[in-house]
Structure 1
Amino acid sequence: MYSYSCLKALFEPQSIAVIGVSAENRDPGSMIVANLLASGYKGKIFPVNGEGEEVHGISGFSSVKNLPRSTDLAIICLPAAEVTPVVELLADIPVRAVVVTSEGFGEIGRDGYRLEQELFRTAKQNDMIILGPNCMGLMNTALDMNASLNPEFTSPGNIAFFSQSGAICSTALDWANCEGVGFSKFISLGNKAVLGEGTMLSYLADDEDTKVIVGYCETLKDGQDFLRTAYDTTFKKPLILLRAGETPAGARAASAHAGALTGATSAYNAAFRQTGVMQATDIADMFNLAHAFSCQPLPQGSNVAIVTNAGGPGILAADMCEKGTLSIVRPSSPSIERMKTFLPAYASLYNPVDMLADATAETYRQTLQVVAEDESFHSILVILCPAANILGEVERVAADIIALEKECDKPIVTCFMGSHSVEKARNMLRGAGIPCYAFPEVAVRSLDAMTRCYRWQHKDWPIEVCFRRDYSKAKSIVDNCKITGLSELVELDAQNLASAYELPVPETVLARTSSQAAKAAKRIGYPVALKVASPQIERKEELGLVVTGIQGPQELRKAFMEITSRAARRCKDAYITGCLVQAMGPKDAHEIAIHFRRDPQFGPLISFSLAGLHEDTLGDVSSRLAPLALNDAQEMIREIKAYPILRGVRFGHAVNLGALEDILLMVSQMASDLPEIQEAEFNPVLAGPDGAVVANMRMTVR
């Protein structure tokens, strides 16, 4: 993590050097100087060019070496090959913060990537921070500072915005200026050679001018750093992120655009869920959520009051509430009695409060006053359709909502449907800091996100669990695997590693002959399971190479011969060492699949599902990133759609969920301890009312 003094030099510089300026107005350096002057920046500006020419009336410097030692920030607008030597000169002054707008780095391929790595090493060696390269720069409205290539300076606001894409930056500025929304900080990240999202969050989380943080990302520079800083940030402020590159085609495009690896979509989703990040679905959703969070308080509960003059939109809103985390509850009895005094007898009073098409501005005012005072509700959604009876009073309704909002401590979100007939009223509401949308689904989405944010910020702290394990034994097993040149741990080796982490495994014996199998089964105790022993055969059950519930020695010998001969016929290239004799799992057990895979961005990603059809075909899988807390394990189990099966609904017995939680936590510990294990599969885990055991496992060693 970079020092606060470096970040202060970047965001709050008292002097800025712009390197690579010419007298040509369309030159990037010249544009930045012009933008600084136009925004009203009151600090010192030092243009640098080879001739030391005056730029926009400001005296220039002929060399970086001549810059004052008091220079806080340098903005470099030079060809890519010239950037690193200039950064080395800046380090001698010393300048602590640099912005590189130049293109031609990681985004163009191998040669540019080498230049980017040189830039990173130079910054690290000199304790400097660098924004970019291939970025537009940044803005700070508190300083009237537009240190960017975009001539449109934003108005002051409480939204901090950062983006990896320059085009999204331009779009965000255009949207904000159109909607009358302002920003506190506006940051173009570019290629993120040095500074990434984590560093931005560490600064913005404590920025007094920022109420909500919004960002667009394609890749994350340091997944683990992001997890730590995002988790700390979301307890202080809402964090809304739009992530691109979720599909294979999008991931390829994102990698080419950013010149960096992308992680799995499931890993990103898990990271956002575990750190309290509000994930936007698209650009419009990102902006809508940003506006709502920036101007309304968070609801202190999930109960929402819907006030409407049309039944259809009210029903759509109620549907959206139930699909999300919001609750539709009845008004209190006193509220219902009050509304009966001024609403028609055929109006619906039980939420949605449908005042019907003959509602007037006065009807809206009285109804909203009642629901605002009703302690049953935590938030209010106002829907207005341009019915004939209300057309001449739409602006009056907006004015009454604005007046109510000043006295009400509950968030108010509005939906004025239609176009030109409600446009003026919409602008009135937005100008007063009240979100106004064209459709009820979008309005409900904003309220739902705000409610989830409140719950996150007021949830109990996670319970960290650390299980006993024999780390030295586990490490020696993995190291021995690497020494012998094996890429996988299977069967007994994998079972020994699992035992080092006290994972519950059934007693297992390798038998090379049917006689050995009979002796092992007698010692273990019938019934037993028998499965072929071969590191090359994966889907043993599908190939008919597993027999369970064997009751006696005669049945065991017959099964041994059938399994080994079938394996020899169906898997001719596989090396078969015999059969594994294994104690049976719990009675009335369900088969569970637990995996972990090391994601390039975030580290171990752990998944949980019912084995077989639910996992392979239906995709009913929950995922979290290691290390898991107890609440993470509990949520993973309860999140899958097949969870009712584990509770014994309709058939079977309820599973011991505590035993499954323990296994997930043990697997998490193993994944965190042993980075050499690239991937691991625990399938099946046999879970029943009396406990759970890991019947089979397979691990890939890097």
Structure 2
Amino acid sequence: MGANLPDRHYLTPLFEPASVAIIGASARTGAVGAVLVQNMRAAGYRGALFGVNPKHRRVQGIPCFPTMDQMPQRVDLAVIATPPATVPQLIVECGLAGVRAAVIITAGFGETGAAGARLERATLENARRHGVRVIGPNCLGIMRPDLGLNATFAKGNALAGSLGLVSQSGAVCTAMLDWARPNKVGFSSVVSLGGSSDIDFGEIIDYLVNDPKTEHILLYIEGVRDARRFFSSLRAAARVKPVLLMKVGRHPVGSRAAVSHTGAIVGSDDVFNAAVHRAGVVRVSTIGQLVAAAQALSAHVRPRGDRLAIITNGGGPGVMAADRAADLGIPLAGLSGTTLQSLQAALPENWSQGNPVDLIGDADATRYRAAVGACLADEQVDGALVILTPQAMTEPTEVADAVIAVARGHSKPVLACWMGEAEVAAGRGRFVDAGLPVFRTPDPAVETFAHLSSFYRNQRALVQVPGPLAMRSPPDVDAARLIIDDVLAEKRSVLSEIESKAVLAAFGMEVAKTMVVHSAHEAVLIAGELGYPVVLKVDSPDITHKTDAGGVLLNLNNAQAVRAGYQQILDDVARNRPQARISGVAIEPMSVRPNGRELMVGVIRDPVFGPAIAFGAGGVAVEVHRDRAVALPPLNSYLVAELIRGTRIAQLLGPFRKMPAIKMEALESVLLRVSEMVCELP
């Protein structure tokens, strides 16, 4: 086992232990220490197994010792299930005994408050001092089914397979395991991270990407502590293996629950999405989608494209599937002339004559076999969804056998949807036995195909390596940095409008000429120099949303309007924001573009992933429309185009009704310059 593997990876003692000690081993029914021993024995662990409990010499047939220093041999992995107050010292004893990895099942640490956080810090300090790597605390444990390692308190054992499951929630692990066994889905590893005080996702992924037993990686995430390592490990893994993840805490209430559960930092969900997409990883939204993806990956469903053929014996379910495909941006395959001829010869003349392929309600196994075979042979098809509804003339089990036989002769993925229950249960079971993904309704089947096909689309984002903006004028980074340094020296955290525009101009972005005035008379003089119409805006370090404070007036066409507008801004801001400091009023030319589109480009500083670039619809209702896409810098032309396509406003940037298309190269230039600015001035 792992005795001769310590040089392969520093987590080998955790994943390939030649010996395991259960600290807190017990014979008491219902005790966690008792369940751990039972699970290890039931799984058939082939290494040396010991208990640690001063009250026993043997526990459930395994030798038991009072302390770690009395072990007859060095132990690779310690599994701790004792009260939280005992854990810091137990880690010391493990380290002195040569233990290199520990799984802390015990709860009652950082997730419970200040006292628990102190215990967690002490545990981690002792672990680092003595060279012990820790999973947990407050976790389910770890499984390696092919080794017979079940160091968890889950009920039952997992089947051996190719899926690596890593989860911050033990409950998600147990639910997945309970579903997986009757569906014949197996795992290479199941790791419950719990509080992740030491070992986090990044290190586990780093091990699994090099593990030949793991072909696919599934992640359930509530928060990430080490974003740099996490992101790096995701990129490395996604280059060679499909990685799918589910992250919760998408909304504030969920984020608070995630923090209370794991103590992890939860950043912006938009930025997290951008990070995992850039890493070439696929994100799912629900546990149902994660389960469906696990089933499909276990069946080695790996579509190389997203063109889907739908074969059905009912028009309604075919339309359902087509609608869901459209929702997800999955194109229905355009069937070739050869395929249409084959279908014409094999199907009744009143078949649907296209995709979805409606075989009509009396379709039998022969008809299904011909249709599925013809579609899979078509080079314009990347995968097939086969739907059956119970009909008097259709035998669901015979059809299942026919579809399975055809699928085995092709490399393209086949997903089945046997709708109903009693009449189709046996047929559904045939797919489970054959290792093919089967669903009860069309929507999850289409979603699964979409998720798995998007893995290959995301590979394009993964391989993007933006270079310097060689064909553009170099930015004046020093000038921009001086402005920012001066602002920081004044202990300010927000640039004024004048300062902001100066920084943008230093990076080659075109900005409106803006001046700050301190009297109505001065405003009139400057307006005359700039030319009418003009815009007035309050200049205040305390006001971000100027319109809300009454601090913006547009399209002022003459001196009288400017004079009155200057005083109106001062009065309105004083009334709406009486505590705000006012540095003056900014004046600039009014940009009048009848066919212009109002857009927003911004930079978000995420607490986990750092700076990110946001793009979308602009204007005063930007928060209401919430039309934005987010990308991580650095960007190149491909990534900029992808960022723009991720918004609803993208549909209005081309020719629309009587409006001409915008200058896309100018928009691309702005986004590339912002990316450059963020990289130079993080």
TM-score when normalising by structure 2: 0.91
Tell me how large the CA RMSD over aligned residues is. Answer: 2.8
Mean CA deviation greater in 638-647 or 625-634:
625-634
Matched letter for residue 375 of structure 1: E
Matched letter for residue 511 of structure 2: V
- Indicate the residue corresponding to 2:585 in structure 1: 579
Matched letter for residue 652 of structure 2: I
Q: 1:78 aligns with which of 82, 86, 97?
A: 82
1:452 aligns with 2:458: no
CA distance in 2, matches of 1:584, 1:609: 22
- Indicate the residue corresponding to 2:640 in structure 1: 633
1:247 aligns with 2:251: yes
Q: Note the alpha carbon deviations across 1:236-256, whole angstroms, 9 max, x for none.
A: 222222222223322222222
Query: Is the 1:596–1:606 Cα contact (8 Å) retained in structure 2?
Result: yes
CA distance in 2, matches of 1:450, 1:234: 12
Q: 2:603 aligns with which of 596, 599, 603?
A: 596
Cα shift at 1:312: 1.1
Query: Closer, same or farther in 2 for the Cα pair 1:12/1:509, shift >3 Å?
Result: same
- Indicate the residue corresponding to 1:176 in structure 2: 180
1:663 aligns with 2:670: yes
CA distance in 2, matches of 1:547, 1:416: 62
Mean CA deviation greater in 181-190 or 603-612:
603-612
Cα shift at 1:579: 2.8
CA distance in 2, matches of 1:173, 1:630: 43
- Indicate the residue corresponding to 1:480 in structure 2: 486
Identical amino acids, percent of aligned pairs: 33
Q: Note the alpha carbon deviations across 1:111-166, whole angstroms, 9 max, x for none.
A: 11121122223333444321111112111122121122224111111111122122
Mean CA deviation greater in 325-334 or 281-290:
325-334
Pairwise mapping of residues 609-624 of structure 1 onto structure 2 (< 5 A)?
609-612=616-619, 615-624=622-631
- Indicate the residue corresponding to 1:688 in structure 2: none
CA distance in 2, matches of 1:430, 1:189: 30
Mean CA deviation greater in 346-355 or 335-344:
335-344
Q: 1:440 aligns with which of 423, 439, 442?
A: 442
1:534 aligns with 2:536: no
- Indicate the residue corresponding to 1:678 in structure 2: none
Matched letter for residue 644 of structure 1: Q
Q: 1:508 aligns with which of 488, 505, 514?
A: 514
SS of alignment partner, residue 174 of structure 2: helix
CA distance in 2, matches of 1:458, 1:561: 55
Cα shift at 1:526: 5.9
Pairwise mapping of residues 192-231 of structure 1 onto structure 2 (< 5 A)?
192-231=196-235
1:462 aligns with 2:464: yes
- Indicate the residue corresponding to 1:417 in structure 2: 419
Q: 1:398 aligns with which of 397, 400, 405?
A: 400
Cα shift at 1:551: 6.4
CA distance in 1, matches of 2:104, 2:580: 56
Cα shift at 1:465: 4.4
Query: Closer, same or farther in 2 for the Cα pair 1:336/1:663, shift >3 Å?
Result: closer
Query: Closer, same or farther in 2 for the Cα pair 1:493/1:93, shift >3 Å?
Result: same
Q: Note the alpha carbon deviations across 1:230-275, whole angstroms, 9 max, x for none.
A: 2222232222222222233222222222233322333333333333
Query: Is the 2:280–2:461 Cα contact (8 Å) retained in structure 1?
Result: no
Q: 2:377 aligns with which of 349, 353, 373?
A: 373
CA distance in 1, matches of 2:342, 2:110: 66
SS of alignment partner, residue 636 of structure 1: helix
- Indicate the residue corresponding to 1:137 in structure 2: 141
Mean CA deviation greater in 546-555 or 275-284:
546-555
Mean CA deviation greater in 300-309 or 186-195:
300-309
Query: Closer, same or farther in 2 for the Cα pair 1:543/1:98, shift >3 Å?
Result: closer
Matched letter for residue 418 of structure 1: G
- Indicate the residue corresponding to 1:494 in structure 2: 500
Mean CA deviation greater in 606-615 or 162-171:
606-615
CA distance in 2, matches of 1:466, 1:422: 59
Pairwise mapping of residues 10-159 of structure 1 onto structure 2 (< 5 A)?
10-51=14-55, 53-67=57-71, 70-159=74-163
Mean CA deviation greater in 123-132 or 151-160:
123-132
Aligned length: 672
Cα shift at 1:383: 1.1
Query: Is the 2:547–2:620 Cα contact (8 Å) retained in structure 1?
Result: no
Matched letter for residue 131 of structure 1: I
Query: Closer, same or farther in 2 for the Cα pair 1:629/1:458, shift >3 Å?
Result: closer
Matched letter for residue 660 of structure 1: L
Cα shift at 1:515: 5.2
Matched letter for residue 598 of structure 1: R
Query: Is the 1:603–1:626 Cα contact (8 Å) retained in structure 2?
Result: no
Matched letter for residue 596 of structure 1: V
Query: Closer, same or farther in 2 for the Cα pair 1:376/1:102, shift >3 Å?
Result: same
Query: Closer, same or farther in 2 for the Cα pair 1:431/1:103, shift >3 Å?
Result: same
Query: Is the 1:614–1:620 Cα contact (8 Å) retained in structure 2?
Result: no
* Ranges in structure 2 where 5+ consecutive residues have no aligned partner: 1-5
CA distance in 1, matches of 2:449, 2:576: 58
* Ranges in structure 1 where 5+ consecutive residues have no aligned partner: 676-702
- Indicate the residue corresponding to 2:348 in structure 1: 344
CA distance in 2, matches of 1:81, 1:431: 48
Cα shift at 1:549: 5.3
Q: 1:266 aligns with which of 266, 270, 273?
A: 270
CA distance in 2, matches of 1:322, 1:575: 52
Query: Closer, same or farther in 2 for the Cα pair 1:558/1:395, shift >3 Å?
Result: closer
Q: Note the alpha carbon deviations across 1:445-498, whole angstroms, 9 max, x for none.
A: 111222211222356721414565455544444443344333432222333343
TM-score when normalising by structure 1: 0.88
Mean CA deviation greater in 310-319 or 329-338:
329-338
- Indicate the residue corresponding to 1:315 in structure 2: 319
Cα shift at 1:100: 0.7
1:7 aligns with 2:11: yes
The ranges of structure 1 where at least 4 consecutive aligned residues each deviate by more than 6 angstroms after the TM superposition are: 551-555
Cα shift at 1:8: 1.0
Query: Closer, same or farther in 2 for the Cα pair 1:5/1:234, shift >3 Å?
Result: closer
Cα shift at 1:577: 3.6
Mean CA deviation greater in 348-357 or 28-37:
28-37
Query: Closer, same or farther in 2 for the Cα pair 1:469/1:76, shift >3 Å?
Result: farther
